[in-house]
A and B are shown apart, each in its own frame.
Chain A
Amino acid sequence: MVDFGIQIKDLKLKNPVTTASGTFGFGEEFTDFMDLNKLGGIFVKGLTLKHREGNPYPRMAETPSGMLNAVGLQNKGVDYFINTIYPNIKDFDTEIIPNVNGSTIEDYVEVTEKLNEIEGIHSIELNISCPNVKEGGMAFGVSCPSAIAVTEAVRKAYDKTLIVKLSPNVTDITEIAKGVESVGADAVSLVNTFLAMAIDANTRKPLLSTITGGLSGPAIKPIALRMVWQVFNAVQIPVIGMCGIMNATDAIEFILAGSTVIQIGTANFIDPQISVKIIEGIELYCKQQNVDAVSDLIGAMVTK
């Protein structure tokens, strides 16, 4: 038996495979296709203090080996999540991890305080990297002082495992990672989507209503892998890696580059059973490579 367990402070995962925020709804959308109990955890859709309608349509465009989205954090607000959605998903044997968003530091703190009260939730992911909102979002994650300020404020309001989700749209991601580590982040997850755009040459119009959006999928995988490796070497706290993971081999590459946990995003749209297949694939790899514990693979890239 391969030991699959992972622990990041209060957060105990039965395996390192989780699903990325905004790509897995609230889990319920997938119950016809797979057994949610098999997952290490589910990072649920981004939450804000108040209901948000998100951006106008069109919000999506397929691009080579990936897609652009400009959803803009459409959600019914944190109270709706706590009162209406969470009761339906709390009994699954997997970690439910809310993704926390805000336009101001006060917003982030208020959402966090509400989630801190919920016994079954052991961790939150602080999203300071959403490229699709006008106020807040990525603005916090692209400068070191603001990333530190919001993390520090949320840290004071949250007792359990605090994960900070970093933006790739920065000059040096290790600086931001070190900054949030210094004020008490328990882990960093990386990365959010890359700011990008697409144009229809025939109509000369942008493909997204917001002109720019976030690029996800295999197109960004090599860049994200590099960032995971750089951050792994720069901080002491665990790194949660993602971007373009389409199969178990991709997931293993992220673990070898330094990820303690991995998140599966866009791949869920194409194969809603992919997360379970990836768990099985990692297990098989461990057996074939005579690895006793999946944690032995973290950052185990061989450089010589």
Chain B
Amino acid sequence: MKRIQDFKFKEYKWLNYQNYILTLKTTDTIAEIKPGNFAELKIPNAPDVFLRRPLSVLDVDHDENTISFYVKIIGKGTEKLGKLRGGDKVNVIYPLGNSFSINGTNKALLVGGGSGIAPFILLGRELKQKGVEITFLIGARTKEDVLLTNEFKKLGDVLVTTEDGTMGQTGLVTHHSVFSEEFQFDKIYTCGPDPMMKAIAEIAVEKGVDCEASLENMMACGFGACLCCVVETHGGNKCVCTEGPVFNTKDLAW
């Protein structure tokens, strides 16, 4: 069941000038959250930010009653969300959307770029728990933008590409040698910019493996009321907020 719940600002962990982890706390319990689920946050102290902002759940701690988000500053909403102070209240609608499917996976490749790495902590943890072998492949422009790798290392192997060659292999994630060597994975999960996910989906077809992508479409509500967030699938337009954000890429007509 979806909830609308007030949280209090707890803390930030700034990863670099435009990326931070925001942790919120409640005195109440936190609902069950599955890997891939997202939340819609009302940005406080920001009358010029009209709609809520969708963010994937990065992590949740049911003992401490905290929930955290990995945020990349894009515009006014994500900027204002990075300026909270002690006592600020944040209203959150969650858990929203579907989740990644895990059954039948033995060896998984998780390909992320930009802010699209957020769902990979919860996903990685659940895969690991199920005994799945995990490799993360993280793409970024430059070394400073390669984030959360310490967290990923706790869960599996971590491969990196940077466009300027300052870390890992040089180029885009799709150029990584993991794709030119003998392919040992039976599932790809991907989240990040659309062109990246499309390229990864094509590789998945080539390699004959299943691929799930988590989409970040523009949303007005996040819970199925407005029909603004659709993606074209082979079965017609589907709402990313209710039938996604996770789709098997073979169903998408992008």
The finding on whether chains A and B are genuine partners in a shared complex, rather than unrelated, reads yes
A272 touches B223 (CB 8 A): yes
Q: Which among A30, A66, A74 is the interface contact of B50 at CB below 8 angstroms?
A: A66
B52 touches A269 (CB 8 A): yes
Contact indicator A32/B3 (Cβ below 8 Å): yes
**Interface residue? A270 (CB, 8 A):** yes
Tell me whether chain B's interface is mostly helix, strand or loop, or mixed: loop
Question: Which residues of the other chain, B, contact A25 by a CB distance below 8 angstroms?
Answer: 224-225
Q: Check A53 against B237 for contact (C-beta < 8 Å).
A: yes
Asked if residues A69 and B52 are in contact (CB atoms below 8 Å), the reply is: no
Q: Which of the segments B78-86, B118-126, B182-190, B212-220 contacts the partner chain?
A: B212-220
Check A59–B230 contact: CB distance below 8 A: yes
B231 in the interface, Cβ–Cβ < 8 Å?
yes
- State which residues 44-70 of A face B: CB under 8 Å: 45, 53-54, 56-67, 69
Taking beta carbons and an 8 Å cutoff, which residues of B are in contact with A?
1-4, 42, 48, 50-52, 93, 217-232, 236-237
What residue of chain B has the Cβ atom nearest to residue A246's Cβ? Answer: B50
CA separation between A22 and B222, bound complex, in Å? 14
Whole-angstrom distance between the alpha carbons of A32 and B2 in the complex? 6
8 A-B pairs within 8 Å (CB atoms) are namely: A45-B227, A58-B217, A59-B218, A60-B219, A65-B50, A67-B51, A74-B227, A272-B4
Residue of B nearest to A57 (CB): B230
- A71-B225 contact given A60-B219, A269-B51, CB 8 Å threshold: no
The answer to whether B217 and A269 touch across the interface, beta carbons within 8 angstroms, is no
Quick check: B229 and A60 within 8 Å, CB to CB? yes
What is the bound-complex CA distance between A93 and B218, given in angstroms? 34
Contact of B232 among A57, A64, A268 (CB under 8 A): A57
| Cα A248 to Cα B253 with chains together (Å) | 43
Q: A32-B1, A60-B219, A272-B4 are in contact. Are A71 and B50 (CB under 8 A)?
A: no
Contact A54 B227 (CB under 8 A): yes
CA distance A280 to B228 in the complex (A): 30
How many pairs, one residue from A and one from B, have CB atoms within 8 Å of each other in the complex?
88
Given the contacts A62-B50, A65-B50, A269 and B2 also touching, CB distance less than 8 Å: no
A56 CB contact (under 8 Å) in B3, B93, B227, B232: B232
Contacts of A146 in B (CB 8 A): none
Residues on B with C-beta less than 8 A from A64 are: 48, 50
CB distance from A178 to the nearest CB of B (A): 33
Q: Is the CB of B226 within 8 A of A270?
A: no
Q: Which of chain A's residues has its CB closest to B53's CB?
A: A62
Q: Check A24 for interface membership: any CB of B closer than 8 A.
A: yes
Contact across chains for A60 and B93 when beta carbons are under 8 A apart: no
- Residue ranges of A at the interface with B (Cβ–Cβ < 8 Å): 22-25, 29-30, 32-33, 45, 53-54, 56-67, 69, 71, 74, 217, 266, 268-273
Q: Closest CB-CB distance, A43 to chain B, in whole Å?
A: 13
Complexed CA–CA distance, A270 and B59 (Å): 24
- The smallest C-beta distance from A58 to any residue of chain B, in angstroms, reads 6
Would you call B223 and A270 a contact (CB within 8 A)? no
- A273 engages B4 (CB within 8 Å): yes
Q: Which 8 A-B pairs have the closest CB atoms?
A: A60-B228, A269-B221, A32-B2, A29-B224, A25-B225, A29-B225, A59-B228, A269-B220
- Residues of chain B within 8 A (CB-CB) of A71 are 226-228
Contacts of A33 in B (CB 8 A): 2, 4, 93
Q: Which residues of A contact B2 (CB under 8 A)?
A: 32-33
A71 to B236 CA separation, bound complex (whole angstroms) = 14
Whether B226 lies near A60 (C-beta < 8 A) is: yes
Min CB gap B63→A, angstroms = 25
A29 touches B51 (CB 8 A): no
Q: Are A67 and B50 in contact (CB under 8 A)?
A: yes
Residue of B nearest to A216 (CB): B220
Q: Are B1 and A269 in contact (CB under 8 A)?
A: no
A268 to B227, CA, bound (A): 13
Closest to A60 in B: B228
Contact B51 A57 (CB under 8 A): no
CA distance A67 to B219 in the complex (A): 11
CA distance A266 to B48 in the complex (A): 15
CB-nearest residue of chain B to A269: B221
Are the CB atoms of A69 and B236 closer together than 8 Å? Answer: no
Contact of A269 with B227 in the complex, beta carbons under 8 Å: no
Q: Which listed residue (B4, B48, B231) contacts A57, Cβ 8 A?
A: B231
A67 to B191, alpha carbons, bound, how many Å?
27
Supply 14 further A-B pairs (C-beta < 8 A) apart from A53-B237, A59-B229, A74-B227: A23-B225, A32-B2, A54-B227, A54-B230, A58-B218, A59-B230, A60-B218, A66-B50, A67-B51, A71-B226, A269-B51, A269-B226, A270-B42, A271-B4
